[in-house]
Amino acid sequence: MASLGKSETHVIVAPTGWRGDVLQYRRHQLARYLMEKRGARIIWIYPLPAVPAGLTRKGLKIEKNVADGIVEIGIPDHRGLIQHLGVLQKGFLECLPDVLSFEDQCFLWYTYPAFGQLSRYKWKGIYYDCSDLWSEMGDRRFFKLLLYRALKRPFLMRTERNIIQMADRVFVTSIFLKQNMKKQYGVEGYIIENGVDFALFQAKANVKARCAWSGSTEPVLGFAGGMKNWKVDFVLLKRIAQERPHWKLVLIGPEYGVRSEHFSRLLEMENVYWTGLVPPEELPGYLRGLDLGILPYRENLYNRSVFPLKLFEYLACGLPVVGCGLPSTVGHEREGIYIHTGSHPGLFLRGCEQALQWDDCKNARAEVARRADWEEKFHRMLVLARGGEDG
């Protein structure tokens, strides 16, 4: 295994463009860490859902994101199939040596199982960082879900298997993903849970956003993240708002996909507030206006694999946390810090009421978050990538 050193180029395979996600995920944090701490050049490869203007003569869309220092390469991906069919990828990938200098130390990071043919080049290291159960992604509506599972899912799993076979190290974010890797592919993954940009959430420690719920004498509960129908239990949230009309329920984040009837009905509640998208640098101010951070996840196979980004972000702001539908977080349960309950409204309500009665443990919560800083997570990841053992 080659050691990571100077003149590094790190190629990251992602599901969308650098700014294609309105939220910032683990893969974005990894790229920033490699640039800022390793001085690396980052090339971000992703599938283009349609053929856009501006393609090179060889079929790739190559852009330099000047603001963030990222070179983006979009590969046209007709109906989501080219990313999983190696025979169709060769024409696009043959021109990569024109962009990459393989005289540098070039490392390949898969954060999404696509473009398996990339692994055929002579990389100094190949790594698969798996943060989702990708085989369970897709439209949750019945007929589209059936179509996805019948057609695209087998291709995706084959791509994932090929990537894992070529990878020098496999990283996962939860015990469920580790067990799934072992069961499906016979591979041992290293668990590195999601982290937090601790400095960001401490930088404005005394600043609160001025919001409609500011100054409330009644409890203010909040969920921050994507409003995704397949992840968030909007039915549970509506019951909470109904059962405790004096509580204020704040939803912070953008909406994804087709709006569900359950989300629409939730927004009709008088004690429910939705901010929409909040810039990352402003999020700490919104969180500091809450009394309790909540993780109301649906109980389904996809969420069993999830380790939520928001757990440590809430704690970094000194908030107590209550969650459900997230077995990956059970190991973090602790008095004064975090409660994981069943998804029944009665159980979740009791958990919230208990957490709201906790003594002020802000320093203890912040300390838990500090130990989960992204820099610590990625340092450990690179030690393992160099061939070190898990301590």
pLDDT tens profile 255-275: 988 889 999 999 999 999 999
Q: How far apart, in whole angstroms, are the C-alpha atoms of residue 113 and residue 92?
A: 17
**Mean of pLDDT values over 188-210:** 84
Whether the CB-CB separation of 221 and 352 falls below 8 Å is answered with: yes
**Mean of pLDDT values over 343-362:** 96
**Mean of pLDDT values over 92-112:** 79
Q: How far apart, in whole angstroms, are the C-alpha atoms of residue 307 and residue 174?
A: 6
The predicted pLDDT at position 85 comes to 82
Q: How far apart, in whole angstroms, are the C-alpha atoms of residue 34 and residue 108?
A: 12
Q: How far apart, in whole angstroms, are the C-alpha atoms of residue 383 and residue 387?
A: 7
Query: Which band of pLDDT confidence, cut at 50, 70 and 90, is reported for residue 60?
Result: low
Does 198-370 match 8-195+373-385 at the fold level? yes
Closest Cα to residue 279, out of 257, 315, 254? 254
Whether the CB-CB separation of 235 and 264 falls below 8 Å is answered with: no
- The phi and psi torsions of 10 (rounded to 5 degrees) equal -115, 120
- Dig out the tokens for 231 from the structure: 């992840």
Q: Which one is predicted more confidently, 205 or 95?
A: 95
Q: Report the percentage of the chain scoring pLDDT > 70.
A: 86
- The residue type of 208 is K
Q: How far apart, in whole angstroms, are the C-alpha atoms of residue 127 and residue 86?
A: 19
Boundaries of every domain in the chain: 8-195+373-385, 198-370
| Number of Cβ within a 10 Å radius of residue 21 | 16
Region 198-370: CATH code: 3.40.50.2000
Does the domain made of 8-195+373-385 have the CATH classification 3.90.79.10? no
**Mean of pLDDT values over 152-166:** 91
Q: Report the percentage of the chain scoring pLDDT > 90.
A: 64
The predicted pLDDT at position 54 comes to 53
Q: Which one is predicted more confidently, 239 or 105?
A: 239
